[in-house]
Amino acid sequence: MESDLPDKASASTAVTAPEHGLDRRAVERVLARAAELQGIGGGEQDADAITETKLLEIAKEAGLTVTSVRQALAEERTRVSNDTEDDSRWLVRVAGPTSVSASRTIPGEPEAIIAYLDAYMQRDECMQVQRRFADRVTWEARNDWVAAIKRGLRSGGRSYQLSRASQVAATVVPVDDNRSLVRLDADLAPSRTNVVRVGGAVTASGVLAGGTIAATATLAHVAVGLALGIAAFPIAIAGGGAYLILRRHHGFAERITLALEQVLDRLEYGESRRPANFLEALAAQAQMRR
């Protein structure tokens, strides 16, 4: 199965890694990741600001291969800071994260990969370009009636999951002459904020109902234990409902993550062309009879 990516450039057009400065934490992450890739474990070193060339020299002295270090450097350059790292562990466990990502090393040049991703997002996910940068592109869902109809009818048998994210971003950086690291990120913050608000409202209504029942039972001189038991009933129901509401976003995050991985699958292995609708199917069958 052939990939849609253009042919790779010859080895003579080598990609030279830019001399970015790295702070101490970035150096530690790069060396640790390079050691992990090589299967050694552990890695660290040196200085407040260090060039990538110097880092490669340090890594060689530590017994790390150039390939693993370049891979780790590429991962560091595609690293995107987000609020998930500082988020409540309980909230992430129950409701899911505010963003999800997927990354993979793909054969090809960054320009060709970004061009392919841009065409795919606009053609197959009903999205449009939001911002363009040197090595990064962000997309958002199209709001025109054609896109709405395609999503509503699931044209081509597609689910259009990525268009449900508030933003999808792709960062592509070279690892070596023939490979690039591709990182896809999807912003799900509005979705989770919405389920948290709804879940909170449901919980508050349950507590309010329970408090009202308890107060009424007390005024009616009902036994305290019985009053509390009756009051706990709506609170328990509301808590269970809020939990189920929060879990909806968790499932949504898992589906978006799968969709990102499927995009990387297409990049790495290519995709089989299949007719997008009934008319194209008839045309394809007619072509096969010739």
Contact 127/283 with Cβ under 8 angstroms?
no
| Mean pLDDT of all residues belonging to the chain | 76
Measured between alpha carbons, how far is 85 from 56 in angstroms, rounded to an integer?
A: 28
Give residue-wise pLDDT tens across range 269-282: 876 544 444 444 44
- What per-residue confidence (pLDDT) applies to 256? 94
Q: Looking at 67-151, which runs of residues are DSSP E strands?
A: 99-107, 127-132, 136-141
pTM over 0.85: no
SS (H, E, C) 146-159: HHHHHHHHCHHHCC
Give the CA diameter of the chain: 90
pLDDT for 42 beyond 50: no
Measured between alpha carbons, how far is 118 from 130 in angstroms, rounded to an integer?
A: 11
Q: Give the angle subtended at the CA of 278 by the CAs of 274 and 280, to the nearest 5°.
A: 55
Coil vs helix vs strand at 173: strand
How far CA 289 is from CA of 1, 93, 104, 285, in Å, comes to: 22, 54, 40, 6
Helix (H) or strand (E) holding 224: helix 224-269
Lowest-confidence range among 103-107, 129-133, 191-195, 221-225? 221-225
- Of 187, 77, 186, 191, give the one whose Cα is nearest residue 134: 77
Higher pLDDT, 56 or 2: 56
Place of tokens 């409902």: 241
pLDDT classification of 89: cutoffs 50, 70, 90: confident
pLDDT for 128 beyond 90: yes
pLDDT classification of 260: cutoffs 50, 70, 90: very high
Give residue-wise pLDDT tens across range 12-35: 444 444 556 677 777 777 777 777
pLDDT for 108 beyond 70: yes
